[in-house]
Amino acid sequence: MALLLPLLLQGCRQAPPDNTPPDVVRQIVMKKWAIVPNRIEVPQGDEVELVVTSTDVEHGIAVPRLGIREPVQPGTPTIVKFRARSAGVYPMHCSVLCGRGHDQMTGVIVVTPPAPPAAH
């Protein structure tokens, strides 16, 4: 059994981090009471990196349908990576109660389908 343990544990190790650069990088600034820009377009199928910063207090970036929910601390960029698998409009919002205008901190990520091939 002792000889099998290393082999069993090897299957449980995490894969090494993927250092492949993303296809698309977008900057997002969160501040009282806005997400700037509040509309982000990315192509379907691309690997996307969001660099999210706060200019004032703690906020949180949440895009529930993409499985994104991350805290955003002032002065420290938060990097969020995802693959834009399905075309559609994905609502985003601030997930940390940050004051009176918190409910206004909304936006969308729009995943656009690939362009149809040109007809000959």
Q: How far apart are CA 64 and CA 57, in angstroms?
A: 22
pLDDT score at 18: 65
What's the CA dihedral at 65, 67, 73, 74 to 10 degrees? -40
CA distances in angstroms from 44 to 47, 76, 107, 109, listed in the order given: 9, 28, 18, 11
pLDDT in tens, 42-55: 999 999 999 999 99
Under CATH, what is the fold of the domain 22-112? Answer: Immunoglobulin-like (2.60.40)
Beta bridge partners of residue 62, listed in sequence order: 69, 93
Q: Specify the higher pLDDT residue, 86 or 119.
A: 86
Give the global pTM. Answer: 0.80
Residue 120 in this model has a pLDDT that exceeds 80? no
pLDDT in tens, 82-116: 999 999 999 999 999 999 999 999 999 999 998 88
- The whole-chain average pLDDT of the chain stands at 87
pLDDT score at 115: 80
